[in-house]
Structure 1
Amino acid sequence: MSKAFVDPEPKWFEDFELGDVITTRGRTVDIGDITSFAGLTGDHYQLHTDAAFMEGNRFGQRIAHGPLTFSLAVGLVGLSGFYGDAITALIEITALKATQPVFAGDTLHVVATVTNHDASGPKYGTLGVTYSVRNQSGDEVMIFLQTMLAKRHKLEG
């Protein structure tokens, strides 16, 4: 009998090293994503929902919400299996910058790089991963640092 899902690969803090990199597959943002996100969050600002208004704007068309781009990036890395089952908690998101707009029709992927690896705790290590979110042209549209707790395999003490 086949499973409807696949369990994440067992992983531990010790499986990650500074400089580890994963490039995710792409995901195309469509107008339905933008509209649904506006409905979900209540953010119906004209930049995201008013095509006529945006025709006269510097972008010329509706743009995706920054938090939508962020959410898609987190999801793409999660779906890649990069973390396996190692992550136990999110600590913080820092240095988030939206560097270019994301439009319906853009295909995003993430280049995620381990930039912090701190084994200071006996049960958990701190893992910092920089997410560079890029469009189909390879242009960076968002960057941020996600810091998480990862379970340790070799418990100290």
Structure 2
Amino acid sequence: MSGSAGIDPRGPRFVAALTAVLTVVALLLGTGSAALVVLAVLAASFGLGVVRGVTGTWQSRLFRRFVRPRLAPPDELEDPRPPRFAQLVGLVISGLGVLLGLLGVGPAIPVAAALVLVASFLNAAFGLCLGCELYLLGVRLRAARANA
């Protein structure tokens, strides 16, 4: 992990579950200002995850305060860099939805929410972090380029 402290891998899955719930709310609200506010909250949450790391989000604080004390310690810790990159991907998608929504492109709000929902659901339900996979693909491509 090159000096990074490991994180409990169940934390990002919990964060993804809360994110999925919020994206469903945004989808149910449609293209109006209430949906835009929910998507903006998600974008801000992703922003915290990018700046502070995945453990610096409000969802992660809920996990540490209410969920983790009730669980056995994790078998192993996870490198925080892939989930942090996934937060960046979420920020770009939700941020673009917010920006376009503010510019009057209402359908961008549910489209962005749907994309975030797919990724967060896959992570929460199956442990498949699409942003993490993109991060690892980038690492492999950089390594291949360095060896070429």
Into which bin does the TM-score normalised by the smaller protein fall? under 0.3
Q: Which has the higher strand share?
A: 1
- Which has the greater radius of gyration? 1
State TM-score, norm by structure 2: 0.27
Which protein is richer in helix relative to its size?
A: 2
TM-score under structure 1 length normalisation: 0.26
Structure with the bigger RCO (C-alpha within 8 Å, sep 6+) is 2
